[in-house]
Structure 1
Amino acid sequence: MDTELRQRAKPVPDPVPAPNLTAGVTAKAPAVEEHPSGKESHGKAIQILRGISFAIFFISSVITVHLSQLIGSPLYWINRDLFYSYMALTKQFFSITVTTMTYWWGPTTIRISGDESVAGQIRKTKDGRVEFDFPERMVMIANHQIYTDWIYLWWVGYANKHRMDGSIYIILKESLKYIPVLGTGMMFYGFIFMSRKMSVDQPRMAHRLQKLRTPHTDPQGNTYMNPMWLLLFPEGTNTSANGRRKSAAWAQKMGYKDPEHILLPRSTGMYFCLSELKGSIEYVYDCTVAYEGIPRGKYGEDYFSLSSTYFQGQAPKSVNFHWRRFRVADIPLETPEAFDQWLRDRWYEKDAIMEQYLSTGRLPATPNAKGDEQPEYIETEVRTQYPWEMLQVYSVVGTVYFLYHIFKRFWIRF
C-alpha cells in the first residue's frame, strides 16, 4: 500500500555535498542465484494446488467479510457510533483472515526488539506468542520495504494487549479504492485515500482526521475518544531501484544527505496529520522493518512477491522489527521546516539501524531489564491465538443465513 506524502519544504541554504545518485541503485536487478529463503519448497504441481487453495480461501473470506459489512451498513443511518463499532468488528475479521493466511501459506519468524522508550511494552506469552502493550491511540510510522509490510504491522494490532486490529486506519493511494470488493471494503473501514495533490487531499484528510478525534460521552458522562492506530509510511512507496533513484535525486535537489538503505521521508502528510491530531494522541511509535536475506544494495520486492511468499514456499525466513516511541509534545510542530528536519533526522537514525542489520544480521537488541548486556529479542510467528478464530469471519453471514432459513420455514408453514 503506497502512500505518497508530498514534501514542500524549501531548499536549505547551506550547501551539502551532492549525494551519489547511483548509490545502492542498479539499472536492472541482476539474476538471483539463490533466494534468501533458499530453494523453492514446492514443485510446480504443489505450487498450483497451493495457489488454488489460497485463492479459494482468500476470495471466499474477503467476500464474506464484505457481505458482513453490507449487512451492517444500515446502522450508519440508525446509530453512527454503533455503525463504527460494527465496522471495527469486520475489520478484525479481515485481520484474522490475513493472519491465518500468512500462518498457513507464508509462515515466518517475527524477531522483535525495541529501545528504552518501549521498555516493558513488548512481552512473550507462555504459549510462545508476543503481546504488545501499546496505547489505544497513536500514530504508527515505518520504513516501507515491500508491499506486504502492512500485513505484519496489522498483525501487531491483533497481538496488542487490548486488540487494536479493528481500529487500524491506513493512508493509501486513491487508485486502490477501485479494486473490486477490497476497495469498497476499505472505504467502509474509513481508510484515507490520497490523490497525491495536497490541494485535493488536505480537505479529505481534515474531514477524516476530525472524525478520528471526535470526543464521545459514555452513559456515566465521561468523555472519551475512539481507539485509533493511524499507520503511515512517510517514504510514500516501497524501497526499490526506481524509488532509490528518485530519493537520491530529491536529496541532491534539496541539498540533503541521501540515506543508503531507505528512502528519504516526505514530511508534509505526516506533519498535517500530527497537527490535526495534536492533543488527541500522546505518542508516535516508529518501527524499523528489515527482512532476512536481502543482499546489500538489493530490494525486497525482487525476492518476496505474493507468488514466492504464498505459493512457492519462499516466505522471508524472518521479519525483524525494532520499535521506538516519541512523545508528540517533544516533536517540533511549530513549522513544517522544523518538523521536516526532525523526521529526516529520525530516518538517518533508521538508516544506521539498517546498516547494523546488514552488517550483523540483527537489529539493535532490547536493553536488558536487569542491567546486564545480554541482548534481548523476542521471536514468535504470525498466527492467531486460537485455531478456531477463523470461524468468526463467517459468523455474521452464517447467522443471517440461518435466521433466513428459519424465517422462510416459518413463513411457509403459516
Structure 2
Amino acid sequence: MAIAASVVIVPIGVLFLVSGLIVNLLQSLFRRINRKVAELLWLELIWIVDWWSGVKIKLYTDPETLNMMVISNHKSDIDWLLGWVFAQRSGCLGSTLAVMKKSSKFLPVIGWSMWFSEFLFLERKWAKDESTLKAGLRRLKDYPQPFLMALYVEGTRFTNAKLLAAQEYASSTGLPVPRNVLIPRTKGFVTSVREMRSFAPAIMDMTVAIPKDSTPTMLRLFKGQSSVVRLFHRYVFFFFTM
C-alpha cells in the first residue's frame, strides 16, 4: 500500500516542484523581455520631449542604480514623461514603475504598456486599494533588475484651487503652509514603505519645478514648443536607518 501511494505521490510532488521552478523562470524571462520592449516604446516618447519639442530638463542629483521608491509632486500632465526621462538617464527606464489611477491603464498603447510593465493601478478607494497596493509591491521583491517605483504622494495634480484648499487645511491643523506643493497623503506612502523596506533600500524625494508662463503639456510637446523643467532630488533615506 505504501509503495502504491508513493508511486502516485512522488511524481505529483516532483511535478509541483518542477512546475514551480518553470513558472518562476518564465516570469523572470518575461520581465526581462518586457523591459526591453517597453524601453523601445518609451524611448520614442522621450525623443518627443528631448528632441522634437526641445524641453530642457535639468537634473539636480547624481542618479543611483538601485531599487528605490521615488516620491514626487504632481505639477503637469507630462510628469510621467519627466519621470521616464530621469529613469532613462539613470539607466533603468524599462524597469520603471509607478502607482497610477486605474483609468490610466485603458489609454491606448501607453496604458497597456504600463499594465504589462506591472504598474499599480488604484481606484482612490482605500478599502479596495490597500490590498491591491500591498500585493503589487510584494511581487517586486524578486524583480530581476534595479527598479524605480514612483509615488505621487499628493494624490492629485496641482492647481491653484487645490493649493488654496491645501493652505486652508494646513492653517487649520497647524501644519506648515505650502506655497508651491500640496499636502501629501500619507496612508499610501506609509504602506509602501512597510512593504518595500526589505528589498528597496532608498527613498528619493523628487520635486518638479516648472515655469508658470510655459507649463509643459502634451499639446505643447506635439507643437514643438520648448520649456524648462528642473528636477530636484533633495534627499535619499535608507530604510535601515528609519
Letter in 2 for 1:271: V
In the superposition, the TM-score normalised over structure 2's length comes to 0.82
Aligned residue number for residue 241 of structure 2: 330
Once the two structures are superposed, residues 213-271 of structure 1 have per-residue CA deviations (whole angstroms, 9 ceiling, x without a partner) of 137xxxxxxxxx54221011111122112321332343245442320111111111111
Aligned residue number for residue 138 of structure 1: 68
Is there any run of 5+ residues in structure 2 with no aligned partner, and where?
A: 1-21
The aligned runs of 1:116-135 (5 Å cut-off) are 122=62, 132=63, 134-135=64-65
> Residues of 2 paired with 1:252 and 1:88: CA distance?
45
The aligned runs of 1:97-108 (5 Å cut-off) are 97-108=44-55
CA RMSD across the alignment? 2.3
Aligned residue number for residue 89 of structure 1: 36
Contact 1:76 1:83 in 2 (8 A): no
Q: Report the Cα offset of residue 77 of structure 1.
A: 10
Contact 1:95 1:158 in 2 (8 A): no
The aligned runs of 1:220-231 (5 Å cut-off) are 226-231=145-150
Q: Report the Cα offset of residue 321 of structure 1.
A: 2.0
1:109 aligns with 2:56: yes
Farther off after superposition, 238-247 or 85-94: 238-247
Aligned residue number for residue 4 of structure 2: none
Aligned residue number for residue 220 of structure 2: 308
> Residues of 1 paired with 2:205 and 2:197: CA distance?
17
Letter in 2 for 1:242: A
Counterpart of 1:205 in 2: which secondary structure?
A: helix
> Residues of 1 paired with 2:65 and 2:107: CA distance?
32
Letter in 1 for 2:26: N
The aligned runs of 1:186-205 (5 Å cut-off) are 186-205=114-133
Is there any run of 5+ residues in structure 1 with no aligned partner, and where?
A: 1-74, 115-121, 123-131, 216-224, 332-414
Counterpart of 2:44 in 1: which secondary structure?
A: helix
1:148 aligns with 2:148: no
1:166 aligns with 2:94: yes
Alpha-carbon spacing, 1:77–1:284, altered in 2? closer, same or farther (3 Å) = closer
Alpha-carbon spacing, 1:309–1:265, altered in 2? closer, same or farther (3 Å) = same
Contact 1:171 1:231 in 2 (8 A): yes
Aligned residues: 220
> Residues of 2 paired with 1:144 and 1:191: CA distance?
17
The aligned runs of 1:12-411 (5 Å cut-off) are 79-114=26-61, 122=62, 132=63, 134-160=64-90, 163-214=91-142, 226-292=145-211, 294=212, 303-311=215-223, 313-316=224-227, 318-324=228-234, 325-331=236-242
Alpha-carbon spacing, 1:158–1:305, altered in 2? closer, same or farther (3 Å) = closer
Once the two structures are superposed, residues 58-101 of structure 1 have per-residue CA deviations (whole angstroms, 9 ceiling, x without a partner) of xxxxxxxxxxxxxxxxx989811111111111121122111112
> Residues of 1 paired with 2:229 and 2:219: CA distance?
17
In the superposition, the TM-score normalised over structure 1's length comes to 0.49
Structure number with greater Rg is 1
